[in-house]
Amino acid sequence: MIYVTRRETFSAAHRLYNPKFSNQENEKIFGKCSNPNWHGHNYTLEVIVVGQPNPETGFVINISELKAIIKEHVISKVDHKNLNLETDFMKGVIPSTENICIAIWKLLVDKLPSGKLYAVKLAETENNFFEYRGD
Ligand code: NI
């Protein structure tokens, strides 16, 4: 099997906040990410597709098609957006990196023309990485 990775980056604002909790409790749980006036991150997204190379093209997936699919279904909806207010697929969900990973998986899993989605990896900072494989 060949694992194909396409890397994309985007910048977005968010606030980690659960309305069930008081402001003080939110701050205790979520720290700086609970700032009521928002803040941003520069996210790095990696989408990994697995499969066998097609004998006629040598490709598991045409990477320029993969790039276009990620741009259309993910990047256009999150880049320079407020994830709490403007991103339809994050409505009602706490925009933790874990939850963003799961949401991106759901957006992409049935959109690939060949190969299978293997993992969605998302880094919120240089030091924090998250990965979802659909189960
Ligand atoms: Ni944050």
Whether 65 sits among the annotated catalytic residues: the reply is no
Residue 80 domain boundaries: 2-132
Over range 19-31, report the average pLDDT. 94
- Over residues 83-107, the pLDDT tens digits come to 999 999 999 999 999 999 999 999 9
Q: What is the pLDDT of residues 3-13, one digit of tens each?
A: 999 999 999 99
CB 37, CB 14: distance < 8 Å:
no
Q: Give the pLDDT confidence of 66-89 residue by residue, as tens digits.
A: 999 999 999 999 999 999 999 999
Q: Give the separation between CA 96 and CA 5, rounded to whole angstroms.
A: 23
Extended strands (E) in the chain: 2-14, 39-51, 81-82, 116-123, 129-132
CA of 13 to the centre of ligand 1 (A): 8
Residue 80 bears catalytic tag: yes
Average pLDDT over residues 25-34: 94
* CA 131 / ligand 1 centre spacing (Å): 17
Q: Give per-residue pLDDT as tens, 38-66.
A: 999 999 999 999 999 999 999 999 999 99
Q: What is the pLDDT of residue 130?
A: 98
Catalytic residue among 25, 72, 80, 131: 80
What pLDDT is stored for residue 9 in this prediction? 98
Q: Output the six-digit token pair for 52.
A: 């066998």
* Catalytic, out of 33, 46, 72, 131: 33
Residue 110: what pLDDT? 98
Q: How many domains does the chain have?
A: 1
| Known catalytic membership, residue 131 | no
Q: Rounded to two decimals, what is the model's pTM?
A: 0.95
CATH for 112: 3.30.479.10
pLDDT at 101: 98
Distance 85 CA to ligand 1 centre (A): 15
